[in-house]
């Protein structure tokens, strides 16, 4: 059984078609895929305060008392974690970025060399593939999509994984469908 | 020059970004007392009021640490608040300082592309992005250890005052090497096996009496 974690960072309810389409894809694969969806609209998650307690005081755990541990637990035990985000000012929303910042407890503070670059070493044995679904309502267009994708490719390197897909929701959902059914 | 500087570190006044900002201010105030507005983006409740401050300035600098390959969430929250100002800041010069604990400038080049795009989207004049590696810990280093970097940021601040833009040569000096040489990477790999490269982390872990738990996997269900 494969596991998928969906982190829905949509800020309002005006794009329910996408959420519905995603639900259809997930339900279609229900026989061999378990999925867990988190809706950031209903979650209490603080910004990372840069204290690094998760590295030097409570290894692997954030000291803030919010709902982030639920996300981390689901993510690190998944095979694929998908971020769904509106494009705001040419980038993912602050809500999604906030979640990305708080993924550092999943890594170890020690630094190693990977492909000639410095990166943090693994804390866990396996990391989920990452996926990105972007909703570009203001039409920031391809430049912004390319920048976001290149930054998430870097994030994937740091998270010891790969970016399985990055799509704009006004395209079709075939790529997501394919990635999910071929996990 | 009506200058506003935004400290984009989640650590606020107690941050490496603050140290860099103070070095810049030393350089900016060498010639005359310039009015400088210094605002903190970790006060997210103030972001709306910061909009009028940026509109009232002719030059803005945004200084932040690299967080998971990009800007910290609090800085993105501020950029989101600027969305209504798209194509409306044509009188503004906008520059950035991005610093990270990694030694290579390359790590920050991806967010640099975004920052240039952002300045253009606001219709502001992009002054550039200053990238600084190995910044972690500068707030607790002795003044002799940070002397060179402080001097470079003093010069950068001064050039900003005199030339109204970042001096390209100083920006290059601050960035240093784009990537580690193969030799340096090999040396680092060898040294990391001895534990020397983890000295800072180990001393903190030991101080907090959790050294033995350093490889904890609290969320794993795979045994």
Tens-place pLDDT, residues A26-37: 888 888 899 999
Query: Domain B3-175, what fold?
Result: Rossmann fold (3.40.50)
Mean pLDDT of B208-214: 97
| ipTM exceeding the 0.90 mark | yes
In chain A, the residue whose alpha carbon lies closest to the alpha carbon of B113 is: A147
Angstroms from A35 CA to nearest CA on chain B: 15
Contact call for B65 and A50, based on CB within 8 A: yes
Encoded tokens for B6: 């935004």
Encoded tokens for A93: 């929303």
Q: Which of A54-68, A136-150, B22-36, B119-133 has the lowest mean pLDDT?
A: B22-36
Which structural domain range is residue A102 located in? 2-181
Encoded tokens for A94: 């602050």
Encoded tokens for A111: 């630094």
Give residue A152's pLDDT: 98
Contact call for A60 and B208, based on CB within 8 A: no
CA angle B137, B140, B142 (to 5 degrees): 110
Cα of A164 vs its chain's centroid, Å:
11
Cα of A173 vs its chain's centroid, Å:
17
- Give the C-alpha separation, B13 to A46, whole Å: 19
Q: Which residues pair with A2 in a beta bridge?
A: A33
Contact call for A91 and B180, based on CB within 8 A: no
* Residues B98-142: tens digit of each pLDDT: 999 898 999 999 999 999 999 999 999 999 999 998 877 778 777
Contact call for B217 and A60, based on CB within 8 A: yes
Q: How many domains does chain A have?
A: 1
Confidence of residue B223 (pLDDT cuts 50, 70, 90): very low
Cα dihedral B23, B2, B129, A148 in deg (nearest 10): 130
CATH 3.40.50.360, chain B: domain bounds: 3-175
pTM of the full predicted structure?
A: 0.95
Instruction: Give the nearest partner residue to A150 out of B83, B110, B189, using CB atoms.
Output: B110
What residues in B contact A94, CB-CB < 8 Å?
Answer: 73-74, 76-77, 79-80
Quick check: B31 pLDDT over 80? no
Contact call for A117 and B215, based on CB within 8 A: no
Residues of chain A with pLDDT > 70, as a percent, come to 97
Quick check: A172 pLDDT over 90? no
A137: CATH? 3.40.50.360
| Cβ contacts of A64 within 8 Å, gap of 6 or more | A46, A49
Residue A72 contacts B, CB cutoff 8 Å: yes
């Amino acid at each position: 059984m494969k596991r998928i974690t969906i982190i829905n960072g949509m800020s309002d309810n005006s794009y329910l078609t996408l959420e519905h389409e995603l639900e259809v894809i997930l339900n279609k694969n229900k026989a061999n895929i378990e999925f867990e969806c988190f809706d950031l609209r209903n979650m209490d998650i603080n910004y990372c305060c840069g204290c690094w307690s998760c590295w030097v005081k409570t290894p692997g755990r954030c000291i803030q008392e919010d709902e982030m541990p639920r996300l981390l637990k689901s993510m690190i035990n998944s095979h694929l974690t998908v971020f769904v985000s509106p494009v705001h000012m040419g980038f993912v929303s602050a809500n999604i970025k906030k979640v990305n910042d708080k993924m550092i407890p999943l890594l170890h503070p020690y630094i190693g060399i990977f492909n000639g670059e410095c990166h943090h070493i693994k804390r866990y044995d396996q990391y989920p593939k990452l996926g990105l679904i972007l909703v570009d309502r203001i039409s920031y267009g391809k430049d912004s999509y390319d920048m976001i994708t290149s930054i998430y490719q870097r994030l994937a390197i740091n998270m010891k994984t790969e970016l399985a897909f990055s799509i704009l929701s006004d395209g079709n959902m075939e790529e997501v469908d394919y990635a999910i059914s071929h996990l | 020059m009506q200058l506003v500087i935004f400290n984009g570190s989640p650590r606020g006044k107690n941050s490496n970004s603050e140290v860099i900002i103070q070095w810049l201010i030393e350089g900016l105030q060498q010639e005359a007392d310039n009015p400088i507005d210094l605002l903190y983006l970790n006060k997210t409740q103030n972001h709306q009021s910061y909009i009028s401050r940026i509109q009232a300035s002719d030059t803005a600098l945004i200084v932040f640490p690299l967080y998971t390959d990009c800007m910290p969430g609090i800085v993105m929250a501020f950029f989101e608040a600027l969305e209504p100002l798209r194509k409306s800041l044509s009188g503004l010069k906008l520059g950035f300082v991005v610093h990270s604990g990694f030694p290579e400038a390359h790590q920050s080049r991806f967010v640099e592309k975004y920052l240039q795009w952002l300045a253009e989207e606001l219709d502001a004049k992009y002054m550039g992005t200053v990238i600084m590696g190995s910044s972690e810990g500068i707030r607790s280093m002795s003044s002799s250890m940070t002397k060179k970097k402080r001097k470079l940021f003093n010069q950068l601040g001064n050039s900003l005052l005199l030339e109204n833009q970042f001096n390209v040569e100083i920006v290059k000096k601050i960035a240093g090497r784009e990537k580690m040489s193969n030799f340096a990477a090999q040396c680092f790999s060898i040294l990391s096996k001895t534990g020397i490269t983890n000295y800072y982390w180990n001393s903190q872990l030991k101080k907090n009496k959790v050294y033995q738990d350093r490889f904890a996997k609290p969320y794993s269900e795979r045994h």
